[in-house]
Amino acid sequence: MTNRRRLVPQIHFGAIVIATLLALPTLAQQDAAPAQPPASSQQQSQQGEAGKDDKNKNQMEQSGTSKDRLFFALPNFLTVENAGQIPPLTAGQKFKVVARSAFDYVEFPWYGFLAGISQAENSEPGYGQGAAGYGKRYGAAFADGTIENFWTSAIFPSVLRQDPRFFQLGKGGFRHRTGYAVSRIFITRSDSGHSQFNASEIFGSAIAAGISTYSYHPHADKTLSNTASVWGSQLGYDTITIVVKEFWPDIRRKISRKKTR
């Protein structure tokens, strides 16, 4: 039995993200000959963007993490953007930043939204309907995301001495950057800066899928095939998220320029 509660919300979110990414090449072409704003407005826009980039860079160089948010909402604290020489994260820092992301104020309504979709689809019928069913789905969604984040970005990276951060490429064509982002699911950096197999993501998500499936999910879903399905959906969701992280600075700059016009 496929864990539809886990798959449906991610498919909905993934569809939105993919649609946004598919629009990027068109947006890039439109920017080839943009309508020039007044000189003063253009200078203010450039100065504002430069100031934000310098602030983000200083924050990254000092702490190794950022305060950035995807779409100005979802935590994006483990993404490295336009940073120079930054220090590796200690085990304590890895756990701290994951905890900061997992229990960020935005996560509570986000999981409520996912639980609402799951309730509407009546995925995992064993949870039932009504307030009790919604509460169980909400708790399961929150636990699923939190467990996976800790295993893939804190526990395994600390044990294996791997860097849980995503280092943006930020240059090249759309396909090249997309390919790079997708490859980060399988390739990561060690704390010393060397490229290696991303065991933290692959094995961490597998363990998280097993824990969640065989502990608090309905009995009917506690099967090996369902665990494998959940593992696959987690890897797919993480892949989409990394691609979004690669192109988020481009989207953010476009939004900022539109606001100043």
What average pLDDT does range 72-80 have in this prediction? 92
Min mean pLDDT across 77-81, 124-128, 150-154 is at 124-128
Closest CA to 89 of 61, 66, 68, 64: 64
Contact 60, 83 (CB under 8 A): yes
Q: What is the reported pLDDT for 81?
A: 84
- Report the 10 Å Cβ neighbour count for 105: 9
pLDDT digits (tens, 9 = 90+) for 144-202: 999 999 999 999 999 999 999 999 998 899 999 999 999 999 999 999 989 999 999 99
Q: What is the reported pLDDT for 15?
A: 46
Q: What is the reported pLDDT for 35?
A: 42
Strand ranges, E, within the chain: 69-70, 74-75, 79-80, 162-163, 166-167, 187-190, 195-197
Give the sign of the dihedral formed by CA 62, CA 64, CA 67, CA 71.
Answer: positive
Length of the chain (residues): 261
What average pLDDT does range 239-245 have in this prediction? 95
Question: What is the share, in percent, of the chain residues with pLDDT greater than 90?
Answer: 53
What tokens were used for 130?
A: 């009504």
Q: What is the reported pLDDT for 8?
A: 45
Contact 9, 117 (CB under 8 A): yes
Min mean pLDDT across 78-87, 165-174, 244-253 is at 78-87
Min mean pLDDT across 121-130, 131-140, 156-165 is at 121-130
Residue 23: pLDDT over 70? no
Q: Which residues contact 190 (CB under 8 A, 6 or more apart)?
A: 161, 162, 163, 196
Residue 207: pLDDT over 90? yes
Q: Please tell me the distance from the alpha carbon of residue 28 to that of residue 58, in angstroms, as a whole number.
A: 28
Residue 129: pLDDT over 50? yes
Residue 98: pLDDT over 80? yes
pTM for the structure as a whole: 0.75
Q: What is the reported pLDDT for 62?
A: 53
Residue 203: pLDDT over 90? yes
What average pLDDT does range 224-253 have in this prediction? 92
Question: What is the share, in percent, of the chain residues with pLDDT greater than 70?
Answer: 74
What average pLDDT does range 33-39 have in this prediction? 45
What tokens were used for 83?
A: 């940073």
Q: How far apart are the first and last CA of the chain?
A: 52
pLDDT interval class at 254 (50, 70, 90): confident
